[in-house]
Amino acid sequence: MASRFAILLLSFLLIATSFRCSIADADVNEGAVGSDDLVIRQVVDHGEDEVVGENSLLNADHHFAIFKRKFGKTYTDKAEHDYRLSVFKANMRRAVQHQKIDPSAVHGVTQFSDLTPREFRSRFLGVNRRLRLPSDAHKAPILPTNDLPADFDWRDRGAVTAVKNQGSCGSCWSFSTTGALEGANFLATGNLESLSEQQLVDCDHECDPEEKDSCDSGCNGGLMNSAFEYTLKAGGLMREADYPYTGTDRGTCKFEKTKIAAKVANFSVVSLDEDQIAANLVKNGPLAVAINAAYMQTYMKGVSCPYICTKRLDHGVLLVGYGETGYSPIRMKEKPYWIIKNSWGPNWGEDGYYKICRGRNICGVDSMVSTVAAVSTTSH
Ligand SMILES: *[C@@H]1O[C@H](CO)[C@@H](O)[C@H](O)[C@H]1NC(C)=O
């Protein structure tokens, strides 16, 4: 009990530090992690091609070589290479810490292991930091919750497109938006159409009605509710194939009204109640949600359920289902979780997906949930 408390306290100190000084955070924790062989082995032993012994953290050069090969990383010169190696080492230490704070997931080397937390945040996240929804946001009607299935997954029902990749651009909000509308459009029309994020990145400059300088801004972030508002006003979204993703926001808007593939009928905000979230998911399709991505840079698989994670929302993702089976790490009971579609390609996480535990609004996952309905005509 006492040691559990000590870990909690330690975790809190580590996290508080990492939020305030993101570049250096991985280094300040050095020495705080003892030589816990079991955890270290778990952290780095993540593939047949990389079975390692107990001194993995000491063997970081070797793991860095494997990492470079696996993810096709090249660096311009020796200085850059050596710098990235030092960042990689810091991230391995961070993964060990995450493993301790979040034992029901597996943390380790990912495609982001050569990025500092600050680089990671600026390139791969992208929800404008507005924890508050506009006060005039339409609230979703309260739904009955007595007949909810124990497990539910929109992927099994054809409402979810393949995992996409936002690349090095803070456009997660646009992927969350298209994912929700793709699902709603499938429910309304029976067709699963992959929709254009680039249209949102190029054309959507919708601002928060209450904070005029907080606007959707391409690779610099945005908000799903504003993007639904834009889509409603613009008339709809084009297909991915007709307006493909480029991963930059330097282009001009190439929206063509005649090529609209899906239209927003309405959208609303779901209350901070996990049964209402589940009921809206089952009834209306995948939901756009915001989350604190603090544990996602090192996440590999399992149900993420950190002892401590603030509700500072910085990433937009898609809630596609929930469940409680198929989850049994040592000494842990089965635990209900949400199934989250991410936009970092299929090689991240569990084939592009993230599982986060239900029940405690972990990492703010219940804080900003929106549902959208599509117009049920196919006018194109
Ligand atoms: C949203 O639009 C759908 C489809 O047109 C409609 O069935 C539903 O009642 C609307 N919901 C709200 C909250 O207005």
Per-residue pLDDT, 324? 82
Q: Is the pLDDT of residue 162 over 70?
A: yes
Per-residue pLDDT, 264? 97
Per-residue pLDDT, 136? 62
**Residue 209, both tokens:** 């009605």
Q: Is the pLDDT of residue 11 over 90?
A: no
Atom of ligand 1 lying closest to residue 188 CA: 4
Which has more confidence, 245 or 28? 245
On whether the CB atoms of residues 351 and 163 are closer than 8 A, the answer is yes
Is 280 an annotated catalytic residue?
A: no
Provide the pLDDT confidence category of residue 325 given band limits of 50, 70 and 90. Answer: low
Provide the pLDDT confidence category of residue 295 given band limits of 50, 70 and 90. Answer: very high
Tens digits of per-residue pLDDT, 210-268? 777 788 999 999 999 999 999 999 999 999 999 999 999 999 999 999 999 999 999 99
152-374: what fold?
Answer: Cathepsin B; Chain A (3.90.70)
Count of CA atoms in the C-beta half-sphere (13 A) of 139: 9
Average pLDDT, integer, range 323-337: 65
Is 305 an annotated catalytic residue?
A: no
* Nearest-angstrom CA–CA distance, 259 and 188: 18
Per-residue pLDDT, 133? 59
Per-residue pLDDT, 137? 72
Average pLDDT, integer, range 99-112: 93
Q: How far is the CA of 258 from the centre of ligand 1 (A)?
A: 24
Nearest CA to ligand 1 atom 12: 266
**Which of 138, 228, 266, 372 for mutating ligand 1's site (highest number of atoms within 8 Å of CB)?**
266
Domain regions of the chain by residue span: 2-101, 152-374
Q: How far is the CA of 263 from the centre of ligand 1 (A)?
A: 12
Q: Is the pLDDT of residue 148 over 50?
A: yes
Per-residue pLDDT, 54? 39
Tens digits of per-residue pLDDT, 42-82? 444 444 333 333 355 668 888 999 999 999 999 999 999 99
Tens digits of per-residue pLDDT, 356-367? 999 889 999 998
Tell me which of 172, 203, 305, 357 is the catalytic residue.
172
Q: Is the pLDDT of residue 3 over 60?
A: no
Per-residue pLDDT, 45? 42
Provide the pLDDT confidence category of residue 329 given band limits of 50, 70 and 90. Answer: low
Lowest-confidence pick of 42-51, 97-106, 115-124, 137-146 = 42-51
Q: How far is the CA of 172 from the centre of ligand 1 (A)?
A: 26
Which has more confidence, 360 or 350? 350
Q: What are phi and psi of 119, to 5 degrees?
A: -60, -45
Query: Which residue is listed with tokens 């870990």?
Result: 7
Is 380 an annotated catalytic residue?
A: no
Per-residue pLDDT, 34? 30
Lowest-confidence pick of 120-134, 165-179, 224-238, 333-347 = 120-134
Q: Is the pLDDT of residue 330 over 70?
A: no
Nearest Cα residue to 155 out of 183, 178, 174 = 183
What are the residues whose beta carbons fall under 8 Å from the beta carbon of 289, sequence distance 6 or more? 176, 316, 317, 318, 319, 340, 365, 366, 368, 369, 370
Tell me which of 29, 128, 315, 357 is the catalytic residue.
315
List all residues whose CB is within 6 A of at least one atom of ligand 1. 141, 265-266, 268, 373
Atom of ligand 1 lying closest to residue 268 CA: 13
